[in-house]
Structure 1
Amino acid sequence: MTDTSVAAFRAAPGPGARTRVWDLPTRLFHWALAIAVVGMIGTGLNGAMEWHFRIGYTVLALLLFRLLWGFMGGRWSRFGAFVYGPGSLAAYLRGRAHPDHLIGHTPLGALSVFAVLAILVLQVATGLMADDEISASGPLTRFVSGEIVGMATGWHKAQGKWIVIALASLHVLAVLFYVLIKRHRLVRPMVSGDKLVPSESGQVAPSRDDAASRWLALVLFALCAGVAWWISSLRV
């Protein structure tokens, strides 16, 4: 039986049908980014700048990959699957969630995802242009004006750093709240890829997670890693 057939079988209708929601590339991205962000924060706070840069380039490659995978990945990993309007968010907060909200990201979870991705993009971008005038300067500092370097450095070392820490902490607390208080299984699906979909959701299309999509993800990540390496090579 092929991976696609297995996913379709898991999505068969019935009470609590198991559905492949998170494809393997998305799961690997999620855990790799979590580890990299912790490493980036730790090395930054401890002044281990060479490792801070290395991990920063890794985060850059991961973010570039997620941007592409948001359009080419599995059904529930695509941005179109969790871009919600104000009405959907209001309904969810009032306890009138749409069945789709119980499958992929909820409207509140989607806001958290986009906020984390946006602040990480900004933090990495400013890091590439930052210069502490002592021992560390980003690879793009020589391509921008001194004024931009100053603003990027100030943001990266002050507001940006603490916003990243705050959002990462809030994300962990939100997961703990849903797991411990609301009894929603959020961690296991991000490990196995499968989620128990309520019967009221009806027939749910699973995310594609076959060999072809995984090879595509590998090629895309290799390209993104190449871009990150090229940017790192500009550092003098």
Structure 2
Amino acid sequence: MTKVWDGFIRGFHWLLVLAIAVLYVTGEEGYLEAHFITGYLLLALMLARVVWGIIGSDTARFSALFHSPKSALRAMCSNDSEVGHNPAGSYMVLLFFVLIFIQLISGLMSTDDILVEGPLVAYVPSSWSEVASDLHHENFEILLIAIALHVLAIVVYRIKGKNLVKTLLTGKEKGVVTTPKMRSGKLAYIIFVLFSIVILGAWGMQPLQALLG
């Protein structure tokens, strides 16, 4: 068994799943303080992932995510083992990055024109806030579709004999030809905590105090 995912990448994946689920529930039920705090923590997590995509393990780096469309099509038709994400999976990862950052940035500029507004509303034109508010709702629908496709792909690969969920839990995979260079995920978690402190300190104190009563 070869280690292909470091501790932060594995934790990042499951924290991302949890954060999106919480954002969906809190947004639908109107628990706005929890919605804001979760959004800020997700922003910190994504920023830490960006940093880790530059300095992290081989399989975590952005350079491992860019492949030609031909390679992606070949990967979808092949059952060969790849180190980390295969080319097709890399396209899905990049799509998630784009959709999640759109969701986060639009949320920072969104307002309901009554009680709730993001921390950047005061710094952008009102027309931007209107567009951001609409985009925040519409983009989440696209994100849900992307998640459904991702789950479907996991099921298909499981039928083909490749257990992607187990690999993301253990970080290890068999049948890998080359051994990627790993870095300890502890540094990435420290970066995540630092981003969280800065973002919550700048924008999250009021909703955090309201949430804690």
Name the TM-score, length of structure 1 as normaliser: 0.81
CA distance in 2, matches of 1:155, 1:192: 36
1:208 aligns with 2:191: no
What SS does structure 2 have at the residue aligned with 1:208? Answer: coil
1:153 aligns with 2:133: yes
Judged with a 3 Å threshold, the aligned counterparts in structure 2 of structure 1 residues 72 and 82 are, in CA distance, closer, same or farther, namely same
CA distance in 2, matches of 1:49, 1:207: 41
1:76 to 59, 67, 73: 59
Deviation at 1:64, TM superposition (A): 0.4
1:140 to 110, 120, 128: 120
Deviation at 1:48, TM superposition (A): 1.5
1:23 aligns with 2:3: no
What SS does structure 1 have at the residue aligned with 2:173? Answer: strand
Structure with bigger gyration radius: 1
Most deviating of 183-192 and 223-232 = 223-232
The aligned counterpart of 1:224 is 195
CA deviation vs aligned residue, 1:118-145 (integer Å, no higher than 9, x gap): 1000000000000011221101100111
Bigger proportion of residues as helix: 2
How many residues get paired?
207
- Matched to 1:193, the amino acid is G
- Matched to 2:143, the amino acid is V
1:115 aligns with 2:95: yes
- Matched to 1:117, the amino acid is F
CA distance in 2, matches of 1:85, 1:92: 11
Name the TM-score, length of structure 2 as normaliser: 0.89
CA distance in 2, matches of 1:235, 1:166: 33
CA distance in 2, matches of 1:187, 1:153: 34
Give the alignment of 1:42-57 within 5 angstroms. Answer: 42-57=25-40
- Matched to 1:41, the amino acid is Y
What SS does structure 2 have at the residue aligned with 1:83? Answer: coil
Deviation at 1:66, TM superposition (A): 0.7
1:197 aligns with 2:175: yes
What SS does structure 1 have at the residue aligned with 2:135? Answer: helix
CA distance in 2, matches of 1:155, 1:63: 19
Contact 1:75 1:205 in 2 (8 A): no
CA distance in 2, matches of 1:134, 1:67: 34
Deviation at 1:93, TM superposition (A): 3.8
Task: Extract unaligned runs of 5+ from structure 1.
Answer: 1-17
Alpha-carbon RMSD across the aligned residues, in angstroms, is 2.0
Contact 2:52 2:60 in 1 (8 A): yes
CA distance in 2, matches of 1:161, 1:195: 32
CA distance in 2, matches of 1:167, 1:221: 25
Judged with a 3 Å threshold, the aligned counterparts in structure 2 of structure 1 residues 93 and 175 are, in CA distance, closer, same or farther, namely closer
Most deviating of 221-230 and 159-168 = 221-230
Contact 2:3 2:171 in 1 (8 A): yes
CA distance in 1, matches of 2:77, 2:157: 16
Judged with a 3 Å threshold, the aligned counterparts in structure 2 of structure 1 residues 70 and 60 are, in CA distance, closer, same or farther, namely same
Contact 1:20 1:193 in 2 (8 A): yes
